[in-house]
């Protein structure tokens, strides 16, 4: 029965959460916060929203682990890409 619990009501809850996070994102851009603080907050909100979509709408939370490993692979590769490009980003 637990699989039925995440049907309609939960989706609406996730929708309101996503909407609220988007409104907060836009609001803090208009607030004119210090650059580093603004950037960190925006990245946290973006990753949070992306995770909500993947976990709930794409059902990763309720899926087999193999699919989560496939989903995480590109993020690991992107971090690796950034690390490998570090010498170009910060040349001596």
Partner 1 sequence: MSDAVAVHGGAEANDTPLTPENWGKLGMWLFLAGDAMSFGCLIVGYGILRHASNKWPVPAQVLGINLTAFMTFLLIVSSVWMVLSLAAIQDGDKARFKKFLGLTILGGAMFLGCQAYEWTHLLEHRLPELNIFFSTDLFATTFFILTGFHGLHVTGGVIYNTCVLLAVNRGRYGAKHVEIAGLYWHFVDLVWILIFTFVYLL
Q: Which residues contact partner 1 (rule: CB under 8 A)?
A: 1, 3, 7-8, 11-12, 14-15, 18-19, 22, 25-26, 29, 38-39, 42-43, 45-46, 49-50, 53-54, 57-58, 63-64, 66-67, 70-71, 73-75, 77-78, 81-82, 85, 88-89
How many Å from the N-terminal Cα to the C-terminal Cα in the chain? Answer: 60
With beta carbons less than 8 A apart as the criterion, state whether 59 and 68 touch.
no
Q: Give 1 or 34: the residue with its C-beta nearer to partner 1.
A: 1
What is the nearest approach in angstroms of partner 1 to the Cβ of residue 73?
5
Question: Which of 42, 61, 40, 41 is closest to 51 using CA atoms?
Answer: 61
What is the nearest approach in angstroms of partner 1 to the Cβ of residue 92?
14
What is the nearest approach in angstroms of partner 1 to the Cβ of residue 1?
7
**C-beta neighbour count of 91 within 10 angstroms:** 6
CA trace torsion 35, 36, 38, 44 (10° rounding): 160
């Amino acid at each position: 029965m637990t699989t039925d619990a995440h049907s309609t009501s939960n989706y609406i809850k996730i929708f309101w959460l996503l909407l609220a996070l988007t409104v907060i994102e836009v609001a803090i851009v208009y607030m004119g916060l210090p650059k580093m603080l603004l950037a960190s907050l925006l990245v946290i909100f973006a990753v949070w929203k992306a995770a909500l979509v993947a976990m709930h709408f794409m059902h990763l939370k309720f899926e087999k682990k193999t699919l989560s490993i496939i989903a995480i692979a590109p993020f690991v590769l992107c971090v690796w890409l950034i690390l490998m490009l570090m010498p170009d980003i910060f040349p001596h």
